[in-house]
Structure 1
Amino acid sequence: MTKKISLFALGAALIAVPVLAAPGGAKADTDGNGTLTRAEAQAHAAQRFDKMDFNKDGRIDAADRTAKRVEMQAKKFTALDTDGNGSISQAEWNNQGAERAAKRAERVAKRAEAGEAGEGKRPGMRGHGKRGVRHAMHGGMMGKADTNGDKAISQAEFQTAALARFDASDANKDGQVTAEERKAQRGEWRAKRAAPATPAS
């Protein structure tokens, strides 16, 4: 008997929680001159908030994450259900797995050719994984933006957090952030993450 997988049975295993990129950086440099102004950072933050406020209720919270997850599941299911009959057969599932394996092998081969495969790292691993994403959403960047502790981030809180990151990167306080300043800021953040935790006294 052909095995079937329903839409709801796919669950969260088929999707990855998207990384919530901090507003600012090179993408916010709308004029492409290599320097980010405070106005550009503010405009980019507004765009990011609008994109992350999935249900358009003026705040980013668990409801937005749930709605986004449901949409991603539906899209994934549609992509897997190639014959459009409302269910996924074993053959469709296996075909999807084979395609993913082929793409993964291709990426690994390209990295090997470019000499980018880091020693001691598993091929295909990026960033800090889902644990790092959860930290960024709850205990890290997004948690810090929630200044009133209501488990939601308003547009004002989002803008304040984005501009605070801009100001932290603006080393000479001239109202703009260069590529060198962004690089220096990333170096400081990496150093803080790598530093051992201070034991409680």
Structure 2
Amino acid sequence: MRKILSGALASLLLWTAPVLAQGGMGGDMQGGGAGGGGPPGNMGGPRRPTPPKPIKRAQFDKVVTAMFREGDVNRDGMITIDELRSLFDARRETLIRARFTKIDSNHNGALSYEEFVAWQRQMGSAASSEVAGTGDRGGPIAEVLLPDVGDDPGSMGLAALIEPLSVGLITNANSNYDAGLSLEELLAYQGKRFDAADANHDGWLTMGELRPPSRGGKRPPGGSAPPCLPDHPC
């Protein structure tokens, strides 16, 4: 009888160990204890983060193209260093004007000592720094143009794969060394990053291929094929 009970207890511990490790079974079996409130079957534990979605090469190129269009301010099919810097300057000017309008509480186009003090006080401890005290918590405008992949957490793998548009990128990707960067040059430059990650060269990046390589330089399994999707049948 003791052997039977010992075996049953061992089986129960093996079954519950993963759940306990994830913060589940905080109370009763319905998740009504400390970790309760979750949907049935989740045992009251935290939700798992959204895994990266498989990325199709066409989707990758579409995001890169949209980033180029945003940087090509004068729409001449080329992005120059001066053009990119003017874009950053314009964004910075917009931020400065919005900040001034916020501080100028009586909207008379001038800052009084009282308005300046009120602005510094609302910044709290940041105002004690000569660096942070000149701005707000939003920080400065970064001199890079980030790819727009939307708000879906599953698309973060795509955002991490594409190098942001910067002055350095224009220099590195400008293969014919002319006045600026063309869309074709940018797609070729960014495409090398996609091809390097696409281990089986099928035009898709799966979650396995998006994972960083292990210490031995090998990627974990899971990069063989994307899941069944409407435009990529099984």
Give the TM-score normalised by structure 1.
Answer: 0.50
Give the TM-score normalised by structure 2.
Answer: 0.44
Larger radius of gyration: 2
Which structure carries more relative contact order (alpha carbon 8 Å, separation 6+)?
1
